[in-house]
Amino acid sequence: MKKPIVVFLAFAAVALGAAQDRAPSNDLITKPALKADLFFLASDDLQGRLTNTPGNRIAADWIAQRFERMGLAPGGPDASFFQPYDLMVETLGPVEGNTMAIAPAAAAAQPLKYGADFYPQRFSAATSAKGEVVFAGFGITSPERSYDDLKGADLRGRIALVIDHEPGERDPASPFDGLVTADASSSQRKAQFAQDRGAVGILFVSDVHNHEAASVGATGAAPAGATGAQGAAGALDNAARNAWPATPPRIDRFTLAKWVENIRIPAMQISTAVAESLVKGSGRTLAQLSAASETEHGFTPLRLNSSVEMAAAVNRQRIPDRNVLGLLEGSDPRLKDEVVIVCAHYDHDGADGTRIFNGADDDGSGIVALVEIAEAYMQAARAGHRPKRTVLFAAWNSEERGLLGAWAYTEAPTKPLDRIVAVLNMDMLGRNEEVPPEGGGRFRGLQPQTAESNNNAVNIIGTSRSADMKTAADKANAATGLDLRYRYDNNISQLMRRSDHWPFLNRGVPGVWFHTGLHPDYHTPQDRPERINYDKMEKIARMIHQMSWDLANANGRPKLAGRALKEM
């Protein structure tokens, strides 16, 4: 796909401050302290700190108590160290309550079969809809990219049919974040976009021009060009079972309650065969419409001369959740209203019987570094050395469930987002990146490499959005001598969107992720505190402390390159 012309903001000629000044109390961040904290946080007693479990709540209380004892101010609402928010868990209602039928012009409605032809999206509202179908390309609205598939469309009382994914999904030069899947292209965002334009329902189908092995319903033939295997009549049924498994999974599928409750229309995934029936009246095939959706600025919506009746039965259950926030107010009367966030996440994947996913590296390492960096700031403050800007120390929850704690903060920030100078996110600081030659899907897009080759290395992800953040990192590293690697911002591994800096980047806030890399113990019971490289972790924590101090005392603030993303 041809890359559209994007106008980038020139970086302002702003001095980032005297980064050569050593951050006070930097040498108080030590490996014995990091190790002692991590052996508690990643112990078997906390049972892997899974969201909505006792171990997770113990971890949150422990962080809050540490913040309070060291003298940080509460950073949450109502003078609390906690920022509460709600998650949502969905369950499928009675199958007979999930129905769908299509009706070409002047024809009787043709009932479809749950599983073989359609199934409700997990975020779907429990409601019904009936209306004319309008094909709307990818269904994306993204003003910051001058892109809109719904421009000029009258969706009031109608049902939108959109294809999955995004334009140029395999194009490193795509304006939709290159190879990284843009937040605007998620199905839930698309449902919100359509609803905002008046749609009473939304249908999703595979973008068959990119994914030839698209699912096909039992009631129709495969799309033109599909092989027998690709057109197998049970493909959508398998997807329905994955979306709504008969046996409840060990870990609930959470999302933000606010997001789900904003969706008030039924949302269905349909087979390509059903979609072919819907688009037939347009004189074009689904493959032709799908390919025509690859545009620079959006697809022109097309009425299809067909109608749909549908009803979704989905139950919603709210689950309370919380972040932990501690605050050190800045000393400068003018700059103290600006904020530097230093953060990590405290949740992990829990336990499966006797198998405990301790999450020492992911992300116990980031949390204990956060605590020690906060302690260094408070020791310096007691000695009369406070940063000019305010520093917010944030322990996010439910990162493993979809960055939900960080997303929740951006939905209800305790400090205005336009006053947040930078976000320094620490997620996996304690190991050496190690990618086996035949590592499998979990290492997709990463070059094979040994742990020894990364002995002194740390990846910094997100600097392609802000050259100023890279400059600040390089300066802060002068006294530490780490091997800083800037290599994963535009990669099919999707690392760019896999940690808590991502929600902030999508709200126009410069943010980076410090990450020592994936390894074979990642998300296994072998991610234990005795396997952590504490010498290296000490160096990284000191470097991040230095960078945060520099940013908190700089004359100017880092700029984002190009558009400041704001998906919702």
**267-285, pLDDT tens digit by residue?**
999 999 999 999 999 999 9
Mean pLDDT of 318-336: 98
Alpha carbon distances (Å) from 478 to 29, 341, 486: 17, 22, 16
Q: Which of 532, 560, 136 is nearest to 361 (CA)?
A: 532
Q: Which residues, including other chains, have CB under 8 Å from residue 267's CB and lie 6 or more apart?
A: 120, 121, 123, 124, 125, 187, 191, 201, 202, 203, 204, 312
For residue 355, pLDDT over 70 is answered with yes
C-alpha–C-alpha distance, residues 399 and 427, integer Å: 10
Q: Is 43 helix (H, G, I), strand (E, B) or coil?
A: coil
Give percent of the chain above pLDDT 70: 90
Task: Tell me the per-residue pLDDT of 232-275, one tens digit each, with 9 for 90 and over.
Answer: 346 899 999 999 999 999 999 999 999 999 999 999 999 999 99
Q: Is 254 helix (H, G, I), strand (E, B) or coil?
A: strand
Mean pLDDT of 203-207: 98
Find the angle CA(385)-CA(68)-CA(322) to the nearest 5 degrees. Answer: 120
Mean pLDDT of 462-487: 97
The number of CA neighbours under 13 Å toward the Cβ of 377 is 37
Q: Which residues, including other chains, have CB under 8 Å from residue 52's CB and lie 6 or more apart?
A: 87, 252, 254, 319, 321
Please report the domains of the chain, with CATH numbers, ordered by start residue.
34-87+320-553 (3.40.630.10), 94-312 (3.50.30.30)
C-alpha–C-alpha distance, residues 470 and 13, integer Å: 15
For residue 147, pLDDT over 60 is answered with yes
Q: Which of 191, 188, 136, 187 is nearest to 162 (CA)?
A: 136
Mean pLDDT of 369-398: 98
For residue 171, pLDDT over 70 is answered with yes
Q: Which of 204, 202, 199, 201 is nearest to 155 (CA)?
A: 199
For residue 467, pLDDT over 50 is answered with yes
Higher local confidence (pLDDT), 506 or 220: 506
C-alpha–C-alpha distance, residues 423 and 420, integer Å: 8
C-alpha–C-alpha distance, residues 471 and 486, integer Å: 12
CB 132 within 8 A of CB 306: yes
Q: Is 355 helix (H, G, I), strand (E, B) or coil?
A: strand
C-alpha–C-alpha distance, residues 14 and 340, integer Å: 17
